[in-house]
Chain A
Amino acid sequence: MKAARLWTWHMAAGVVLFFVLGLHMGIMHLGEIGHWFAPYGNLAVSIANSRFRDGMLTFTVGYIALLAIGLFHGLYGLRTMLLELTLRPAMEKAITVFLLILGIGLVGLGTWAAVAAHGVALAGVKG
């Protein structure tokens, strides 16, 4: 039953990613038209526009959530593919633990980066 629960979350993460990545694509690539969260010039990925978004708490939380959801979806998918190889139970457990540690580590690193960028952006605004 635990496997079915994880699989449910995997599917749900896929649906969330579909919408969040759509939002990301819209903001990054339609900046010239919409100027959504990109008030400084036409280039959405410019330093000034990036700092503007980094300074918003919604974006910081969004980045961390996107990273966590994306990593869960991707690493669970990778685990499923590796487990298709019909390995011994001990090896399956080792893969699961390794991917879990890798995922938590990457989320931690990404969280630190997002929070740091948020701090840098706020410090820049305050001068």
Chain B
Amino acid sequence: MQNTRPEQRTIRFHVSRFHPENERGPYVQSYEVPVHEGMTVLDGLHSIKDNLDSTLVWRSSCRMGVCGSCGMLLNGRPGLACTTQILKIAKTDLSVGPLPNFAIIRDLVPDLSSMFDKHRLVHPYVIRADEAEIHDPSGEFYQSAEELEHYLQFTYCIKCGCCMAACPTLATDARYLGPMPLTAAERYNADTRDGGQRERAQVTGSSRGAIRCHYAGECSRVCPKGVDPAKAVQLLKRRLVLDYLHLARKSEPCKKLKGEGSGSVMPKIATAPAHTVEARKEPENLLQHSSSATIHRP
């Protein structure tokens, strides 16, 4: 009977290690890992942890390129460890490091809190004057397929931080908002249900906002989900200029559908089942605790 087991090869993993409480700076540790075709970098890291060094630390969750947890620097290029096959990027050696432009929590775990702080600044949610409708909707808002197309690709962002790690502007100026928050801002600005462009412009139009982008385009090149953050930033620039010159097309946030069967919750839609578990109240000091955690930079 023919052996269908894929051919194995040994790849030398050069992994960046750093324990901020015990060490002064990152160093590289090498491991020889038997690799076969189809094996991802994440599989390789699991192999190291299981067989060679149980102290290696990284962050991962879904293993299918959806959660955005395992963003790493793979052979000098930011990418997801779970969707990058080892033999596609390495012949004999593979360097694995934490995402640059972020502080390191430990080994391959970057501290993404700076990115999420900036993300929060751009108000990444639908803003409307009729706020009650957001929290307790009484019907549907009309949005055509063409209108959806304007921002659809930006919704694919999984906040992995690869674009932030690749951005040369962010590498020299940590105050720059960066591609991910700006893409999120454009995603909501382009949404016809939204009316918060002016509110977001206070942040995106600041000296650390969209105009800081030099259009290197690296963010779009490394995005594992095929999003084009560089395009989003250029669209934001155009939006800022046209708004200032009063040349932007006047538009109101879209209205609720009118007519029979529209503008109200459809009667045939089943109501959601009752909660089986009572919602747990988060401890009040949780946020304070996480924000005050000391992060050691190398």
Interface residues, chain A, with chain B CB atoms under 8 Å away: 1-5, 7-8, 11, 83-86
* Extra inter-chain contacts (18) besides given A8-B241, A85-B172, CB under 8 Å: A1-B201, A1-B205, A1-B240, A3-B205, A3-B207, A3-B211, A4-B205, A4-B206, A4-B244, A5-B205, A5-B244, A7-B211, A7-B240, A7-B241, A83-B207, A84-B172, A86-B173, A86-B174
Q: Which of A4, A84, A85 makes the CB contact (< 8 A) with B201?
A: A4
Is residue B10 within 8 Å, beta carbon to beta carbon, of the partner chain? Answer: no
Residue of chain B at shortest CB distance from A84: B172
Residue of chain B at shortest CB distance from A87: B173
Is residue B245 within 8 Å, beta carbon to beta carbon, of the partner chain? Answer: yes
Complex contacts, A8 vs chain B, CB 8 Å = 240-241, 244-245
- Among the interface residues B172, B201, B240, which one has the most CB atoms of the partner chain A within 10 A? B240
Q: Separation in Å of the B167 CB from the closest CB of chain A?
A: 13
- Among the interface residues A2, A8, A85, which one has the most CB atoms of the partner chain B within 10 A? A8
Interface residues, chain B, with chain A CB atoms under 8 Å away: 172-175, 201-202, 204-207, 209-211, 240-241, 244-245
Q: Separation in Å of the A89 CB from the closest CB of chain B?
A: 10
* Complex CA distance for A84 and B174, rounded to whole angstroms: 11
Q: Which of A4, A5, A11 makes the CB contact (< 8 A) with B209?
A: A4
Complex contacts, B244 vs chain A, CB 8 Å = 1, 4-5, 8
Complex contacts, B173 vs chain A, CB 8 Å = 84, 86
* Complex CA distance for A7 and B208, rounded to whole angstroms: 12
Residue of chain B at shortest CB distance from A5: B244
CB-based contact B209/A3 at 8 Å? yes
Q: How many A-B residue pairs have CB under 8 A?
A: 41
CB-based contact B201/A11 at 8 Å? no
Q: Separation in Å of the B259 CB from the closest CB of chain A?
A: 40
Q: Which of B172, B174, B175, B211 makes the CB contact (< 8 A) with A4?
A: B211
* Complex CA distance for A117 and B241, rounded to whole angstroms: 38
* Complex CA distance for A7 and B238, rounded to whole angstroms: 11
* Complex CA distance for A83 and B206, rounded to whole angstroms: 14
* Complex CA distance for A5 and B240, rounded to whole angstroms: 8
Q: Separation in Å of the A80 CB from the closest CB of chain B?
A: 9
Given the known inter-chain contacts A8-B240, A84-B173, please indicate yes or no for A3 contacting B245, CB distance below 8 A: no
10 contacts between A and B (CB under 8 A): A1-B244, A2-B205, A3-B211, A4-B201, A5-B205, A7-B240, A8-B241, A8-B244, A84-B173, A86-B172
CB-based contact B241/A1 at 8 Å? no
* Complex CA distance for A4 and B202, rounded to whole angstroms: 10
- Among the interface residues A2, A4, A11, A85, which one has the most CB atoms of the partner chain B within 10 A? A4
* Complex CA distance for A7 and B245, rounded to whole angstroms: 12
Complex contacts, B204 vs chain A, CB 8 Å = 4
- Among the interface residues B174, B204, B211, B240, which one has the most CB atoms of the partner chain A within 10 A? B211
Complex contacts, A84 vs chain B, CB 8 Å = 172-173
Q: Separation in Å of the A112 CB from the closest CB of chain B?
A: 33
* Complex CA distance for A84 and B210, rounded to whole angstroms: 14
Q: Separation in Å of the A56 CB from the closest CB of chain B?
A: 32
Residue of chain A at shortest CB distance from B207: A3
* Complex CA distance for A85 and B240, rounded to whole angstroms: 25
Residue of chain B at shortest CB distance from A9: B244
Residue of chain A at shortest CB distance from B239: A4
